Amino acid sequence: MSSPSSVGSTSPDIWKSEFIDLLNKPTFAEAKVAQAQALKIHNAPPFVYRYRKFNDFAESELLEGYVWLSHPDDYNDPFDSALLISEEVLLKKFFKARPDFLIDYPTLAPFFTDSERHHAKSSDDPFKTAYEILQAKGALPATISPDEMFRIFMEAAQAANADRRATRYSGLKNTIRISCFCENFSSVLMWSHYAENHTGICIEYATKDLFKNPEIAAFLYPVIYKSERFNSTDHFDPIGVGDVNILSPTLASCHKSPDWSYEKEWRLVMPFDSATTDQKFSLNTLPSRILVGAKVTSANLQKIKELAAKIPVPIVAVGEMSETTFSINFK
């Protein structure tokens, strides 16, 4: 574990943004992975929690010591892991990188002199420069600005490539699988939403023990909450070659609306290959506690205690609703 002096001391909200910034680079080679991991390990909460209904699946996870890795589409947030990629920015980058695709196009090439062709290809915005040259020669309508023509071109390109774009986004989402944790074991909302209305369980893991597993140390991420979706446009090469940032789907999965901020979520986001990756991910560490919902049935409470003894988990704490505040206490 890195010392505080090597990673700095930051507030809970600030360090998470700094962590994302270290990874949010145009290419994976530029990402400061080791520095980000040290920052994360230094600032991680002492425990993370996993709310569960108490059923056969939860029993299996506990007995076998794994967590289930789900596809992003399986979660209840319709924006989960949604990628934001600006097709307009990519197209402008494409024309900048490959101006010949436009200027040497057979139906357009005859309109340019050699010097005009060189001028357009070397400009910061080849599309706009080429359009202005053609417009000055009367080859294009004088009433339509280059920016307006680019917008029309973009709309047509997006309509023509809607299916391919959707397939690309879906394919990128399919490169990850996720398991969810959080920082708070006493959230009334979390118990209501994810532990079957306070009848289920909340499993506590010590992060220092989890981080002994190198994969968890690498792939457990904090979630940050912002109104804007994560923009990963800079992660993609518009001409389809060269280095890209393979962390783009992962970083998108770590951004959620402020509506979800009460969850204080952490996510194990694993690279996924359906041919080789088991969706049962072994944690290789035992829970430190099992917390039980305040409305658990006596029969299930007995089953949970018997299950904890088998694993073994030394502490089973049962929730009680406070008589004076809107809170849950455990003992």
DSSP reduced 3-state for 267: strand
Q: How far is CA 61 from CA 50, 205, 286, in A?
A: 11, 13, 11
- What is the residue-wise DSSP string for 24-42? -SSSGGGS-HHHHHHHHHH
Residue 3, pLDDT score? 39
Cα–Cα distance between 43 and 4 in angstroms, integer? 9
**Residue 293 in tokens:** 């919902």
Count of residues making up the chain: 331
Q: What is the CA radius of gyration of the chain?
A: 26
Greatest C-alpha distance within the chain: 86
238-286 per-position pLDDT tens digit: 776 556 799 999 999 999 999 999 999 999 999 987 656 779 999 999 9
Query: How would you classify the pairing of strands 220-222 and 265-271?
Result: antiparallel
Kindly give, in sequence order, each residue whose CB lies less than 8 Å from that of residue 185, ignoring residues fewer than 6 positions away: 47, 49, 202, 204, 291, 330
DSSP code for 243: -
95-138 per-position pLDDT tens digit: 888 888 888 888 888 888 899 989 989 998 888 888 888 888 87
Query: Whole-model pTM?
Result: 0.82
Q: What is the mean pLDDT of residues 169-187?
A: 90
